[in-house]
Copies of this chain bind each other. A is one copy, B any other.
């Protein structure tokens, strides 16, 4: 599989539209790791520039991979074996280049639609090309604009059937991955 995903805690917006670092949510890690493992994602990166937050994430991963958790819940261990912590987007890109020999094409998602947004069907066709892809999923109130503009693809938003569009990030990621990679 040629697909990587990252949960981005910086740079993202807060409620007021300021660029901030969001905190890691333990449950995000558990949920997204399981979803990634189910759909054959190569690696799930938790991206935060804060050292203490990265250490927290590492401690959680170690508990479930090597510690008591590995015995208590082996399926969680399997999901966490593809999960990794990174301090910056550059580190993630280098890590992917090291393991695949290719620079990943970057796909961003957002609750808004952009003039050049790509549809789910069109992106599905791209994903079978011989490239490597990295999805960036924003926490808080979404990815910083510059990150969105520099990406190779801007995926159209997930829309339900109402005007209400406030899916939790965990649910949105599950839906996006299922639409693009589900059988």
Residues of chain A touching chain B, judged by Cβ–Cβ distance below 8 Å, are: 27, 30-31, 34-35, 37-40, 75-76, 78-79, 158-162, 164-168, 170-175, 178-179, 181-183
**A35, A75, A174 pick with most chain B CB within 10 angstroms:** A174
Chain A interface, DSSP helix/strand/loop, else mixed: helix
Each complex incorporates copies of this chain amounting to: 2
Q: Given contacts A158-B178, A161-B182, A183-B161, are A168 and B30 in contact (CB under 8 A)?
A: yes
Residue contact A35 to B181, C-beta cutoff 8 Å: no
Write 23 A-B pairs (CB below 8 A) sorted by A numbering: A30-B168, A34-B167, A34-B168, A35-B167, A35-B168, A38-B162, A38-B164, A38-B166, A38-B167, A39-B162, A40-B160, A76-B166, A79-B164, A79-B166, A158-B178, A159-B183, A160-B178, A160-B181, A170-B170, A170-B171, A175-B178, A175-B182, A178-B178
Report Cα–Cα, A165/B182, bound state, in Å: 12
| Chain B: CB-nearest residue to A73 | B15
Report Cα–Cα, A179/B120, bound state, in Å: 13
| Chain B: CB-nearest residue to A158 | B178
Q: Given contacts A159-B183, A161-B183, A182-B160, are A167 and B174 in contact (CB under 8 A)?
A: yes
Residue contact B161 to A78, C-beta cutoff 8 Å: no
Q: Given contacts A162-B40, A166-B75, A166-B79, are A34 and B183 in contact (CB under 8 A)?
A: no
